Structure 1
């Protein structure tokens, strides 16, 4: 029956054997082609099949095969000529799914030990970790994270500039994450560190689902092994992905676990970032005293390990806490201090985060044009670094500031743009906030019915989440509130 055949084909180890009719078999065709390869070509064919990514770049293939670039390229092009490998774009190679299964079977048969196959994947992970660390160092100059990563036995690429490095990160995201997931066994710590140093992928929203799934798998594996260092770092990464998705309570749980593990094994940097994350989660959940406590501890920790970017992050987050409790002057000072540190280090992306925090404080201070200028500079930097989530959130904040300045028409356009950018990323809580501001702008231009529809959708979101914002939005739906009140979280 079809169901029986589907079940057989679902088992990758049986799939090639099932695809036959009499003397005709797919596997036999592959055997014929493989048998005609020269030894070096045959080795390249079967070893490349071990990698799980959808395709592989020439640089990654060279690392996996442990060959010089021109030698690796000659071998791969020879495999393309024999139709055992495909090249969809210059410098990128992939297998047909069935050919990959055959190549992997050859590796399991012809490579003498499992350790030899593990060494192949270890070289590939080394390449991704070393290259990702180079990207991180260019995007985050002065950040101490690169000094706290697991060492690698093999190097990666070196880039001539930041733009090329970012291009590499996003073009290699699928293969990198596949390699990390595949290496959760023998190379667990390096796999976790590769995730941590590529956290911009999670922040961007571009690969957030795949990123979180891999991070969660590594967290579970680290916990199963009892590796406190790996578990703490994996939990920290998971906390960040959950925060980006708007699942703040779950994010706080992960950050708390990260802190516990970090303290148990003396991983100081992870402990600092865990406190920073818990402070941010407490802010989002309106637990302001708790947020102040965590962030003050994070600030002291970052200063103790001489991590200036971490110090700036804690300062900017403390700015938002002070703003939430009405201490506008303190919020402005802290945001400016954080921005000064980032600018001194030449950190464009993190400088955008500081300008975002400063824009919030300036909006609360009713210095609307200054706030909008700060947000627009942040937006340019977020766009340059491909941080789509924060592009959308900054558009939302500009809309909010325009609305507070009694300019509803540009606020309406910006809120609609923000809503479009945030489709599928950022979580329902952020969408609810954008809908609330969009509704206010619609009301201000006389589109009352559309405004009420936006507020009703936002109310449904906040009630389902159990968010305190539901009370204010309910008043809007019922016509009992009208003045725009910025959400400083």
Structure 2
């Protein structure tokens, strides 16, 4: 067979040939290969493959698809020397079991059992270890598994657990307990209902001389079985427990300072796993003091997570658990001093009062001495700074420290090697589970919509959810819908989250963080509350606050460390909705109305200037809007490339939409109109048509309210263009007519002509080709009298296109070729691309298919350079049709077009799917004609 072949299924499905990874193809091909690997050398029927790929109802083409997938697999496997042969209606993978990791695992476990029966414990342990080392993760990870593969995976995982426990048992008999306790602790955390694991752990702990920990392990096992299965431990566990009690008497008393593990803790599986991993690392690195720093915004549940996890693993710290609330962020503003915290710890460790040193250093030294050679868990809750925490850290290994703080504590991370754990909001499902825990599942299930609205209003912040749930709990007869309505009526303020207790009142908790900020940070935090977008870049924030870029970047970083803002992407900063509300309230109470208005004006000036520059970079020949005068201290961008502009628009997308919708409400209607106009180029280029529609609607309202008839006309026209892209032709027609009426009333000839071109486009798509030609010719007559060559070329192309639609392709070529002549030297790739498309279309319908293909290829290259995905798809459709008509294969172009349109969610995807079926020969399902893709460029 040449170089070694290695099929690996115990983890991600993988094929290695000579040590190199082999690409296995599509997800469904990988599923079929996994199924074949279950039975190497034995037939696997096509029916089994279909049932695995489509467990529900298989498509009509299922068998044909399977044959295609198998054919591709056969080619891949042939390349590594493996045969995939057909026997009747089945396929056989011709490879030996030794090439598949699972079968090697099975062989090794069999040999390990044989060695054990023969009394060769050392060889048995070696073979078990070799077998377990083969596993890399869950079987078939990353493969879309059906019922057969799922069943195999479950059985194999059970086999692995049994092998692990057999290996541990042999190691116990060999007295090989080096890292066995740590390994068994991790095993029982992962599989708390397997009594064999607990039995082995208790035996290992007793063998290591730690009977107290063995008894605590029994208690953990008993609780897990009772809570999850409602049963008591089995006879073997009970017997071992009694045996240890008889041998050792009563377990020693140890400090147990953990606070109550409050009810209703939910979710946080990833964070709990991270804490478990830190604990496991502590077992494997016995020379280090392990510190985990849990950081997050106020009210996010840091203390709840730390306390819940500490209770869960308390049995692994037989010498006790210490806890202190350091009060780093409280309404009193008086953090606990390190010396006082140390005094409390020394009291818990039974140090007589007359032996406690009076100074912090002395107390810290005695504390470290007492913790030496002990295994303890220390929870330092609500820390203000690294300086507050450092004296409370143990000096020798064996202990694990969990710190919670609203600050990221960079000093602790750098100097003490603490591992950061950033705690975010609950997921929607976790928030729903939290409500169910506190109010009863029946109440939440009965009103799912109301529960969802409550979660949305609380923005998934645990503290806010707890306050609202408590309010609902004391009124069990009130519906959740009533509570949701009360939250809705209260608006965006924080009043619904008052709890009558400063420690659990959302506004008070946020205020305790805000009060720790220096003046410049506090001012920036307040002003960020005025911004309506989901996040903000450094330049926009600098404009908002009238600060230099470098200083703004530093201040934002400090706010992020304090968890008053987040940094979801490098250089972009967001704020939790309730924190934004608090910041806005604080700004209204602190900053003068004129200062708040000027801040928003600077922000909108920044966005407007950048949008205008970006739109021009994307389309250099767009008609420039008269410059506006930005306020001082506004950061101004000048884009030099379309790629840079598109990247900026992508980053600011959501923020810009929010600004358009809010501008008029904050007294800046002209900014709403102009921002919407500048955004149109980007939205059109990237296919964001719904956003294009909503921003133009906002611009129309702003212009109407401001009495700006020309601005309103432009917004109507842009709205018509967006609706056209979405194939909402009747609405688009109405908007175009509204624009034409306003332009006519204001005697704006250019606006009239451009709108006439838009109407020509709309009429074309409605099949009214002669009327469309008339509108296009009327627009051309206007532009021929002017000196705007780009507009004239666009009109010539539109007339040419209309001639093609009425069947006069020779006249179409005359006008479109004149358009190309006019465009020569203008560097207007967009208009060139559309014109080459029109010329290709005319050649195609004159039967000159080779010429058509050549024209379409030029247009395709131009649209790809422009990044215009919609028109790239349109050209691919035309190219596929022309190639098909020329007797070539056009399916590849149609498939690529379909992929783009599906990605854009465009309604014409169905029509392209029909064309693809026709090109493949299934003409009975073909959809004839594609008017919505045959659109013309719009100025």
User: Which TM-score tier does this pair reach, normalised by the shorter chain?
Assistant: 0.7 to 0.9
Between the aligned partners of 1:173 and 1:305, the Cα distance in structure 2 is 36
Question: Structure 1 unaligned runs (5+)?
Answer: 470-485
CA distance in 1, matches of 2:564, 2:576: 8
RMSD: 2.7
Indicate whether 1:321 and 2:802 are aligned.
yes
Query: Where does structure 2 lack aligned partners over 5 or more consecutive residues?
Result: 1-478
Give deviations 1:261-283, integer Å, cap 9, x for gaps: 12323444433321221121122
Number of aligned pairs? 453
Instruction: Tell me if the contact between 2:673 and 2:703 (Cα under 8 Å) persists in the aligned partners.
Output: no
Q: Does 1:105 align with 2:563?
A: no
- Cα 1:422–1:74 change in 2 (3 A) is same
1:246 partner SS: coil
Under a length normalisation based on structure 1, what TM-score does the superposition of the two structures give?
0.84
Name which of 35, 41, 54 aligns with 2:534. 54
1:476 aligns with: none
- What's the secondary structure of 1:190's corresponding residue? helix
- Over 3 Å counting, the alpha-carbon distance change for 1:149 and 1:197 in structure 2 is farther
Q: String of CA shifts for 1:245-293, please: whole Å, max 9, x gaps.
A: 1122221211111121123234444333212211211222222332223
**In structure 1, what is the Cα distance between the partners aligned to 2:669 and 2:901?**
33
Number of the residue aligned with 2:558: 78
Find the partner of 1:88 among 551, 568, 571: 568
2:695 counterpart (214, 232, 252): 214
User: Is 1:184 aligned with 2:654?
Assistant: no
Please show how residues 82-481 of structure 1 align to structure 2 within 5 Å: 82-113=562-593, 115-143=594-622, 145-148=623-626, 152-153=630-631, 156-185=636-665, 186-304=667-785, 306-407=787-888, 410-423=889-902, 425=904, 427-428=906-907, 430-431=908-909, 433-443=911-921, 448=922, 451-455=923-927
Contact 1:328 1:365 in 2 (8 A): yes
Question: SS state of the match for residue 56, structure 1?
Answer: strand
2:525 aligns to what? 45
Structure 1 residue 488: Cα displacement: 8.5
SS of 1:346's equivalent in the other structure is coil
1:17 to 2:495 alignment: yes
Equivalent-residue separation in structure 1 for 2:914 and 2:701 (angstroms): 38
Q: Deviation per CA, 1:358-385, whole angstroms, max 9, x where unpaired?
A: 2212212322223223222322332333
In terms of mean alpha carbon deviation, does 116-125 or 43-52 score higher?
116-125
Q: What CA deviation, in whole Å up to 9, does each residue of 1:74-104 have, x standing for no partner?
A: 2212211221111122211110121111112
Name the SS of the counterpart of 1:146 in structure 2.
coil
Which SS does the other structure have where 2:739 is aligned?
Answer: helix
User: 1:39: how far off?
Assistant: 2.2
Deviations 1:146-201 (A, max 9, x none): 14566655563012433212221222222112111111343323322222222233
Secondary structure at 2:727 match in 1? coil
Structure 1 residue 426: Cα displacement = 7.2
Q: 218-227 or 99-108: which moved more?
A: 218-227
Q: 3-state SS of the aligned residue for 1:214?
A: helix
Q: 1:288 to 1:159 in 2, by over 3 A?
A: same
**TM-score (norm. length: structure 2):** 0.45
> Which moves more between the two structures, 74-83 or 265-274?
265-274
C-alpha distance in 2 between matches for 1:263 and 1:256: 10
2:567 counterpart SS class: strand
1:286 and 1:221, CA in 2 relative to 1: closer, same or farther beyond 3 A? same
Find the aligned partners of 1:2 and 1:397 in 2 and give their Cα distance: 55
- Quickly say closer, same or farther: Cα 1:357–1:110, change in 2 above 3 A: farther
Quickly say closer, same or farther: Cα 1:273–1:62, change in 2 above 3 A: farther
Residue 387 (structure 1) shift: 1.7
Q: What's the CA shift string for 1:218-252, capped at 9, x where partnerless?
A: 22343355431221011011011101011222212
SS at match of 2:787: coil
Secondary structure of the 2:544 match is helix
Structure 2 CA distance for partners of 1:53 and 1:303, relative to 1, 3 Å: farther
Report the CA distance between 1:205 and its aligned residue.
Answer: 4.9
Cα offset for 1:334? Answer: 2.0
Q: Please say which structure displays the higher CA radius of gyration.
A: 2
- The structure-2 alpha-carbon separation of the partners of 1:45 and 1:272, relative to structure 1 and needing over 3 Å to count, comes to farther
CA–CA separation in structure 2 for the residues paired with 1:15 and 1:288: 56
Distance 1:362 1:250, change over 3 A: same
Taking a change above 3 Å as real, the CA distance of residues 359 and 216 of structure 1, as seen in their structure-2 partners, is: same
| C-alpha distance in structure 2 between counterparts of 1:236 and 1:313, whole Å | 17
Indicate conservation of the 8 Å contact 2:673/2:702, yes or no: no
**Does the 8 Å contact 1:201/1:211 carry over to 2?**
no
In the superposition, relative to structure 1, how do residues 158 and 487 fare at CA in structure 2: closer, same or farther (>3 Å)? closer
Whole-angstrom CA distance in 1 between matches of 2:617 and 2:813: 28
Question: What is the alpha-carbon distance in structure 1 between the residues aligned to residue 496 and residue 824 of structure 2?
Answer: 61
The separation in 1 between residues aligned to 2:816 and 2:901, in whole angstroms, is 25
Higher helix share: 1
Q: State how far apart, in whole Å, the 1-side matches of 2:491 and 2:890 are.
A: 57
Please give the secondary structure, in 1, of the residue aligned with 2:550: helix
Q: Structure 1 residues 274-283 or 180-189, which shifts more?
A: 180-189
Of structures 1 and 2, the one with the larger relative CO (CA 8 A, separation 6+) is 1
Residue deviations 1:101-147, cap 9 Å, x none?
A: 1112222222222x44333222222222211221222232243x114
Q: Provide the rounded CA distance (Å) in 1 between the counterparts of 2:618 and 2:683.
A: 15
**Equivalent-residue separation in structure 2 for 1:269 and 1:194 (angstroms):** 21
Q: Distance in 1 between matches of 2:916 and 2:630?
A: 49
Contact 1:56/1:94 (<8 A) preserved = yes
Range 4-13 or range 89-98, more displaced: 4-13
- Between the aligned partners of 1:99 and 1:385, the Cα distance in structure 2 is 40
Residue pair 1:245, 1:425 contacting (<8 A) in 2 also: no
Q: State the alpha-carbon separation in 1 of the partners of residues 843 and 601 from structure 2.
A: 49
Deviation at 1:303, TM superposition (A): 4.7
Structure 1 pair 341/172, CA: closer, same or farther in 2 (3 Å)?
farther
